[in-house]
Amino acid sequence: MKQGAGLAIGFFAVALVAAGGGYWLGNKGAQAPGDGSATVSAGEAGKKVRKILYYRNPMGLPDTSPTPKKDQMGMDYIAVHEGEDEAENLNDPSAARQIRIGTEKIQKLGVRTEHAQLRSLDRTIRVAGRIEPDERKVYAISPKFEGYVERLYVNVTGQPVSKGQALFEVYSPELVSAQREYAIAAQGLESLREADSQAQTGMKDLAAASLQRLKNWDISAEQLKALSQSGEARRTLTFRSPVSGIVTEKKALQGMRFMPGEALFQVADLSSVWVVADVFEQDVGLIKIGARAKVRINAYPDKLFEGTVSYVYPTLNAATRTVPVRLELANPGLLLKPAMFAQVEISELRAVSAKGTVVTVPISAVIDSGTRQIVLVQLGEGRFEPREVRLGARSDSHVEVIEGVQDGEAVVVAANFLIDAESNLKAALGGLGQAVPAKTVDQKTVSHTAQGKVVDVDAKAGTVNLEHGPVESLKWPSMTMEFKLDNESLLKDLKPGARIDFEFVERGQGEWVITRATP
């Protein structure tokens, strides 16, 4: 019995060892090199996870953060992985001055781009003008002797008259005397036909002088002929219109006395008129004589009048900075009245650019700071580079880019001022002449020096408004901006109008603090 029990126990132990060995061999076989599951596990174990070094400002500012954060515009800071930032800055020296924006933010801002293109610049000048009578067709009727208005045939301003139509009759004792002298001289010349030549010559001279006197007084040839034939002096003289037109001015009154040279009537021929347009100073060089122009009048919105440029005046109106440009316009039906307001379009201009086709961008793409012009060029998805450009000729919608942008490059034409974002873009533009990796600069420890003039001081807020000169260390141009004061003791040297030398640092993002100020 005992021997049988021992054999059973021994058999159980051997079975247990065999089962354990089979389990071990089974697991070892499962990990054989040919098994696919073993390969996946090895791949996952060897997969390299990129390490995040820091987070950088999406607008290209020299500001980094060890943890995720947002900038003043709500844009997420961009993660910089190990090896990415160094490679980017080594391969692309301009990376430090690029502006980066997330795709979602671009859509929210409404950023839109267009490609710079080669094109010929055409332009239409639209200006205001006024209707004026043709000065060459305005006539004044002025007697050259003293007299009295005996009778008026035209007695209202605005009355149309025809050439040769009687306007008024005048009486003048001088005129009567001159007529009598001429009549006597003419009769004496007739009676001296058989006299000697000397007597005839004297009488001829007298008659010629009397006749010339009457002619100088604008006596018509018809009246002189009647006078010489009848020999009787007329008491009154009739003045007639020298041209067909409209009486634009009437000073003559029945029975009034007038002096030599006094204008009693003014008649204007309005069959053609002038349009005097006020062209802005910068556009005068584009105007050429003979150019066709379209004119619209508020009184006749359904009518379009066409004329030509006949003269560019040599004077400038200093108050409006405009130069008068004269157009000649036909006036059928006398629809155009002097002093009417006119809207003028001149399209036949001198070539806006003599170069033919030039590289152009939409005018909306240019950010003009006053001292320089900037265009934002799209380098890739969410990456923009501010470039200083030199501009040339302009059309109504586009401007020539002489330097800074190439044909085919995409430029921002909408929301560029939102991308500008005040100090954010200023900081990016500061790197235009110097590319420095953002993470190597600590603005909080860098001190900058400048000279400036105190504009205003707010002692309560501890701020000062300065009009300062260029800051070389930041590539800033001259500007007027607000600074904070490091301590109250600086206030003693800061009075409005004072000129100072000062040092300042950036304590926070866009927070510039004056640490020293001396007169």
pLDDT band at 270; cut points 50, 70, 90: very high
Same domain? 384 vs 365: yes
Asked if 259 contacts 303 with a C-beta cutoff of 8 angstroms, the reply is: no
In a domain, 60, yes or no: yes
Across the chain, what does the average pLDDT equal?
78
The answer to whether position 58 is within a domain reads yes
**Residue, of 228 and 279, whose pLDDT is higher:** 279
- Least confident piece of the model among 227-241, 361-375, 460-474: 227-241
Q: Could you tell me if 319 and 275 lie in one domain?
A: yes
Segment 209-267, tens digit of pLDDT: 878 888 888 777 777 777 766 767 778 888 899 999 999 999 999 999 999 999 999 99
Q: When comparing pLDDT for 493 and 459, which is higher?
A: 459
Query: In terms of domains, do 452 and 495 share one?
Result: yes
- Please, what is the end-to-end C-alpha distance for the chain in angstroms? 119
Q: Give yes or no: residues 182 and 274 share one domain.
A: no
Identify whether residues 466 and 396 lie together within a single domain. Answer: no
- Give me the mean pLDDT over the 100-114 stretch: 79
Average pLDDT of the residues in 430-442: 42
Domain that holds residue 116: 112-122+353-414
Residues 189 and 217 in one domain: yes
Which residue is listed with tokens 């030599």? 260
Which one of 201, 236, 262 terminates a domain?
262
At residue 22 the predicted structure's pLDDT band, cuts being 50, 70 and 90, is: very low
Shared domain for 367 and 332, answered yes or no, is no
Q: Write the single-letter amino acid at 152.
A: L
Poorest-pLDDT segment among 161-175, 192-206, 320-334, 386-400: 192-206
Q: In which element (H, E) is residue 236 found?
A: strand 236-240
**CATH at 281:** 2.40.30.170
Residue 488 has pLDDT above 90, yes or no: no
pLDDT of residue 427: 52
In a domain, residue 371? The reply is yes
Residues 389 and 341 in one domain: no
CB-side neighbour CA atoms (13 Å) of 183 = 15
CA atoms within 13 A on the CB side of 81: 5
Q: Has residue 47 been placed in a domain? A: no
Number of Cβ within a 10 Å radius of residue 35: 12
Question: Do 236 and 286 fall into the same domain?
Answer: no
Domain total of the chain: 5
How remote is the C-alpha of 199 from its chain's centroid?
Answer: 81
**Is 4 part of any domain?**
no
- Measured over the CA atoms of residue 89, residue 92, residue 93 and residue 97, the dihedral's sign is negative
Q: What distances in angstroms separate CA 325 from CA 103, 126, 281, 342, one per listed residue? A: 51, 12, 11, 13
Note whether residue 182 is domain-resident: yes
Q: How far apart are CA 97 and CA 115, in angstroms?
A: 21
What are the tens digits of pLDDT across the range 44-69? Answer: 444 456 678 778 776 656 677 888 88
Burial class (CB in 10 A: 0-12, 13-18, 19+), 434: exposed
181, 292: one domain: no
- Which segment of 14-28, 39-53, 146-160 scores lowest on mean pLDDT? 14-28
- The pTM of the full predicted model, rounded to 2 decimals, is 0.50
Q: How far apart are CA 40 and CA 47, in angstroms?
A: 11
Which CATH number characterizes residue 460's domain? 2.40.50.320
Shared domain for 166 and 252, answered yes or no, is yes
